[in-house]
């Protein structure tokens, strides 16, 4: 009997295992699918205060945990494409700073479908929204920006490019678990300003991590695009100086003086070079460095003026600009902050759910993140040299009126890559006008947007829509004047 019992038990164990496997195949995925669907729907934004009734906008917002141990979570705002979202690519957008909000800038004042209106009381539909071409995902990063938070205060003391890339990658992995229907979509990364660091570094991390994953676990990265992007400190500083001189912002004497005392071979300026460059920045006190032919915001309310920080280091590093919108209001940023500090707006977005920012206002840029950010990467140019060889699509664009990260510097560092030229420098068109110029290299396209400043989608929305459409469809910019 004892022997028989042992035999029976041995036979039953495989049977029990088979039952468990069957359950895991038939029941658990269904339960997981329901949980995932419920989690998605929990993030759905039904309607925002002041949102126009038409056209309908499918949107989601909420938090994705990127570090459970530290209680670190990043806030996102996601818009499905206006038509055929199941067949459109997924585009992640990142703003720079470091420390500025992709919700406040990218989503609400540049390329999202719902833009904060000119007095901060509501929203208006953006007919040039990039949701015409893609599903749009906006991420507030790094932690401490906008609604993103950590329960571990020391996190705020350790932020650098590597920290941001790891958190952004963790966000993507967990976001795709919440929205698995987008996992197989073509995926692109985009951004502007200091995101010139974030974007290629995240692209490189995705590319490297994909090598060690099964095919169904990989992120389907197809390319990245950056605008007025800080990339290489030497060429960016060189371009800034030459732009100021060539656009009559500084004198011949100051230009020659800076050239004689600055090598621009370090990230931070010191000594005579720091003093000389402070004289350059001083010339921008009365005009907008981010669009040299735009009106300057002269109200004391704006915390985003290029001269709001007095130290040379902060002035040299900071990448903040003012919104130019309908009616051309260069002080628009205050309206954005007014809108996102409304309690019903935050509730509708599932933001600030723990009330962690109750003792301060939500701000479009975080001075604390900027002040504590360890900017130690002199150049990300080697990442371009690496990734263009992989076959992923890479575009670099510049509004040609930006004095902070001028196209002059971008042309310098792109040329320094030494890539073979496919098509020579030439104009592209929109509505019978030259919209900008471009050059195609093997593996990279560099283009300008005529009359655009630091934030091209808000300065030149129609042109920006054409460029992102061309990028996503792997189509050459229109070269016919019609």
Q: Which residues are catalytic?
A: 193, 402, 454
How many CB atoms neighbour CB 395 within 10 A? 23
DSSP symbol at 132 = G
CB-based contact 205:164 (threshold 8 Å): no
Closest CA to 427 of 464, 481, 469, 473: 481
Rounded CA separation 308/314 (Å): 9
- Alpha carbon distances (Å) from 331 to 29, 296, 334: 51, 8, 6
User: Where does 95-154 show beta strands of DSSP type E?
Assistant: 114-116, 123-125, 135-140, 149-150
The bridge status of strand 90-94 relative to strand 135-140 is: parallel
Rounded CA separation 165/151 (Å): 20
**Please, is 194 exposed, middle or buried when counting C-beta atoms within 10 Å of its C-beta (0-12, 13-18, 19+)?**
buried
How many CB atoms neighbour CB 439 within 10 A? 19
DSSP symbol at 232 = B
Rounded CA separation 78/57 (Å): 10
Rounded CA separation 425/311 (Å): 39
Token pair 């070079």 is found at 273
Q: How many CA atoms lie within 13 A of 424 on its CB side?
A: 0
Rounded CA separation 168/203 (Å): 10
Count the helix, strand and coil residues of the chain and give each as a percent rounded to the nearest 5. 40, 20, 40
Closest CA to 221 of 112, 90, 396, 102: 90
């Amino acid at each position: 009997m004892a022997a028989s019992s042992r035999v029976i038990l041995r036979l039953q164990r495989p049977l029990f295992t088979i039952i468990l496997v069957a359950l895991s195949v038939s029941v658990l995925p269904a339960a997981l699918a329901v949980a995932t669907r419920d989690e998605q729907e929990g993030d759905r934004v039904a309607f925002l205060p002041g949102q126009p009734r038409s056209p309908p906008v499918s949107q989601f917002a909420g938090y994705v945990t990127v570090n459970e141990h530290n209680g670190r979570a990043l806030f996102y705002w996601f818009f499905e494409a206006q038509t055929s979202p199941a067949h459109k690519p997924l585009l992640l957008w990142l703003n720079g700073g470091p420390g500025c909000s992709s919700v406040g800038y990218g989503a609400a004042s540049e390329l999202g479908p719902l833009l904060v209106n000119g007095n901060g009381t509501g929203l208006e539909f953006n007919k040039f929204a990039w949701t015409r071409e893609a599903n749009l995902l906006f991420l507030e990063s790094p932690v401490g920006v906008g609604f993103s938070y950590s329960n571990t205060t020391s996190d705020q003391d350790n932020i650098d490019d590597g920290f941001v890339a790891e958190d952004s990658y963790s966000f993507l992995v967990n976001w795709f678990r919440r929205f698995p229907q987008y996992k197989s979509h073509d995926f692109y990364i985009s951004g502007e300003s200091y995101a010139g660091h974030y974007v290629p570094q995240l692209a490189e991390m995705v590319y490297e991590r994909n090598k060690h994953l099964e095919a169904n676990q990989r992120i389907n990265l197809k390319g990245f695009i950056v605008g007025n992007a800080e990339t290489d400190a030497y060429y960016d500083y060189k371009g800034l100086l030459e732009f100021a001189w060539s656009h009559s912002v500084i004198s011949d004497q100051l230009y020659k003086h800076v050239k004689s005392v600055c090598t621009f071979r370090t990230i931070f300026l010191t000594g005579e070079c720091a003093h000389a460059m402070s004289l350059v920045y001083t010339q921008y006190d009365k005009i907008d460095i981010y669009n040299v032919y735009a009106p300057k915001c002269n109200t004391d309310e704006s915390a985003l003026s290029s001269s709001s920080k007095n130290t040379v280091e902060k002035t040299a590093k900071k990448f903040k600009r003012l919104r130019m919108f309908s009616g051309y209001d260069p002080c628009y940023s205050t309206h954005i902050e007014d809108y996102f500090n409304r309690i019903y707006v935050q509730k509708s977005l599932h933001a600030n759910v723990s009330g962690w920012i109750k003792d301060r206002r939500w701000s479009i840029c975080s001075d604390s993140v900027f002040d504590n950010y360890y900017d130690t990467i002199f150049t990300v140019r080697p990442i371009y040299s690496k990734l263009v060889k992989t076959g992923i699509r890479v575009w670099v664009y510049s509004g040609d009126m930006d004095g902070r990260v001028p196209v002059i510097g971008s042309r310098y560092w792109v040329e320094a890559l030494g890539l073979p030229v496919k098509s020579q420098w030439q104009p592209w068109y929109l509505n019978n006008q030259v919209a900008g110029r471009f050059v195609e290299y093997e593996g990279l396209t560099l283009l300008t947007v005529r009359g655009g400043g630091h934030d091209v989608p808000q300065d030149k929305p129609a042109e920006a829509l054409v460029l992102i459409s061309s990028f996503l469809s792997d189509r050459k910019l229109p070269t016919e004047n019609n």
